[in-house]
Amino acid sequence: MSLRRSKRLASRRSHGRLAGLLALILALSAILLPPLRSRLAWRLEALHTSIVYLFNPPEQAIFQPTEKAQLATVVAQTLQAYQTQVGSTPTATSTPLPGPTSTPTLTPIPLPDVIQLEGVKYEHQHGRFNYCGPANFSMALTFWGWEGNRDVIGRALMPGNNPDEQGNPRDNDVNVMPYELQDYIRENVPYLSSVLRYGGEIDLLRRLVAAGFPVLVEKGIYEIDRNGKRSWMGHYAFVTGYDHPNRQIIYQDTYQPNGAPAGENRRISYEQFLEGWRAFNYVFLVVYPYTYEAQVFSLLGPWAGEEWAARHALEIAQDESMTLSGNDQFFAWFNRGTSHVALFEYVDAAIAYDYAFNLYATLSQDDRIRPYRMMWYQTGPYKAYFWTGRYNDVIRLATTTLEDTISKPVIEESLYWRGQAYYMIGNTQAAINDYRAALRYHPNWGPALRALRDLGVRP
């Protein structure tokens, strides 16, 4: 090879390396631009989650209560101390609107065989993180003339899902609780109200929908998550019709994976719907204009009474916990605890949750089966253990949830309740740290702000 040709080849290699380096720099620079960075955020997040889960499989995370033996001796002391401090018994953290003081009786009325409500403005959840809550909440409001959309709800209830002022993606909150929609309505949509109850049934859904009132429910599903794995997760559904001869619920599904049927007016069998609904104690929420409140409570019948509904849900859970097996039995025992919490029966709730978590430890470790996301969506065990003085169990359960079941500790409710427990055992700085962390993932979140304000420290 001649010297001149050798120099040309070396020059080409040098230019090739330079061009490759330049292309890499340009690509990295493009990624750093806020618009592209925002669009790629979900892919980067999915990659991060996959790596974390590879080394720390969430389905293998086990929480085992350790303070059961202390329960009977500490509960009376805890309640007495609280009553001395605030002058009342513990109350729930949600703030539902008051219902009627009496429980109306239900008059059976014939229902149409098939109903599919008109006027539903369908919205999907794609393009955002875990956006089934805002998308479903938006549909529940726009049905009654509200003029917002999913992002209006999302900015208020899941602000971590939206880029900051510079366009940078934030760490995202993973769930919106039903009571948060109630709070949003009360603060922002004054002509609407809502009712939230446990223990729903198919016939109740049919009665409400036939009268023109769609119903929002929270249920469990087994789907392909963003890491490409089929597993259990919580999901909202907006029930807007039914086909009774074919025993089907008609609902709006905001989740549309590739190859799936359209999410609008999707159909599901009564049996499959109930199986998913069981995971959330058959919870349902009805949004309605204030002018229709009397009609809604008449349609609800005994469910108009919050205590009756919680007691009814408890009866269902007690029966199912004795007759079902596997995941369904775990959900049933968990529901027993949730119903007891709704009735402020914290000792019974703690015992039920203990049994549920013991059952969970016996379930198959197959990540397609174990519902390891359960504590992403519900806070009942925190309340039960906290109000029975089992602060270390609150801390351990929250830590397991935040460190072992999710790739980033982005669940503000778990941070909040761990902070509450840290404070009660005298670790005030750890409590402050958790309250502030909760505010990073859910800016301006009321419970964490109030906790810091009570301690006299800045957010």
In tens, the pLDDT along 268-321 reads 999 999 999 999 999 999 999 999 999 999 999 999 999 999 999 999 999 999
The SS3 of residue 349 is helix
- For the chain, how are helix, strand and coil distributed in percent, rounded to 5? 55, 10, 35
Rounded Cα distance, 398 and 32, in Å: 34
Residue 429 CA: distances (Å) to CA of 50, 416, 441 = 32, 13, 19
Nearest to 275 by CA among 342, 352, 371: 371
Residues 227-247 pLDDT 10s: 666 789 999 999 999 999 999
**CATH number of the domain at 102-304, out of 3.90.180.10, 3.40.605.10, 3.30.470.20, 3.90.70.10?**
3.90.70.10
Q: Give, in degrees to the nearest 5, the angle at Cα 17 between 11 and 19.
A: 100
Nearest to 405 by CA among 360, 359, 444: 360
Residue type present at position 346? Y
Nearest to 166 by CA among 29, 48, 32: 32
Residue 366 confidence (pLDDT): 65
**Which H or E run contains 299?**
helix 293-300
Q: Give, in degrees to the nearest 5, the angle at Cα 238 between 237 and 243.
A: 100
Rg (CA), the chain: 25
Each domain of the chain, given as residue ranges in start order, spans: 7-55, 102-304
Residue pair 124/263 in contact (Cβ under 8 Å)? The answer is: yes
Higher model confidence: residue 226 or residue 281? 281
**Which H or E run contains 230?**
strand 230-243
Residue 77: burial class (beta carbons within 10 Å; 0-12, 13-18, 19+): exposed
Residues 37-96 pLDDT 10s: 444 454 445 544 445 455 566 777 788 888 765 555 444 554 455 455 445 544 433 333
Whether 4 has a pLDDT exceeding 90, the answer reads no
Residue 110 confidence (pLDDT): 86
Residue pair 199/303 in contact (Cβ under 8 Å)? The answer is: yes
The SS3 of residue 133 is helix
Residue pair 428/447 in contact (Cβ under 8 Å)? The answer is: no
Question: Quick one: angle between helices 202-210 and 270-277, nearest 10?
Answer: 110
Question: Can you tell me which residue has the tokens 């101390």?
Answer: 81
Question: Can you tell me which residue has the tokens 């599904």?
Answer: 253
Q: Which of 16-25, 188-197, 249-258 has the lowest mean pLDDT?
A: 16-25
Write the DSSP assignment of 74-100 as a string of letters.
HHHHHHHHHHHHHSS----S--PPP--
Residue type present at position 344? F
Residue 331 confidence (pLDDT): 97
Rounded Cα distance, 419 and 429, in Å: 9
Rounded Cα distance, 208 and 200, in Å: 11
Residue 223 confidence (pLDDT): 76
pLDDT grade, residue 369 (50/70/90)? confident
Residue pair 398/414 in contact (Cβ under 8 Å)? The answer is: yes
Residue 161 confidence (pLDDT): 57
